Amino acid sequence: MTSARLSEAQLVALVEKYFAGVDRKDVAGTLACFAPSARFSIANHGVSYAGRDTELKGMYERLNERYAQVWHSDFSHTVNVAAQKIAS
């Protein structure tokens, strides 16, 4: 299966949509940024989650329970369109 490739602007918009969802504590909106088979790793904590609707959902629900507020801002994005990767 071939998925559509995103432009640089689309990759940036997706990442900013993701962080906005996290900051609003909108689990459904945050998860909408991921494919069903997504994997998410937090390297500095040595943990990984697999599956948008299972492990990732649980991770975001726990995040929202633990913190009254989450805030992401002042982004600097590095985009590799050929590899379909972005670091923020």
Q: Residue 80: is its pLDDT beyond 90?
A: yes
Q: Residue 26: is its pLDDT beyond 70?
A: yes
pTM value is 0.89
What's the average model confidence in pLDDT over 72-85? 96
| In the chain, domain spans | 8-87
The contacts found for 10-18 with CB under 8 angstroms, 24 or more apart, are 11/77, 11/79, 11/81, 11/84, 11/86, 12/77, 12/79, 12/86, 15/75, 15/77, 15/86, 15/88, 16/75
State the CATH class of domain 8-87: alpha beta
The pLDDT value given to residue 1:
47
> Model confidence over 42-69: pLDDT tens digits?
999 999 999 999 999 999 999 999 999 9
> Model confidence over 1-23: pLDDT tens digits?
457 899 999 999 999 999 999 99
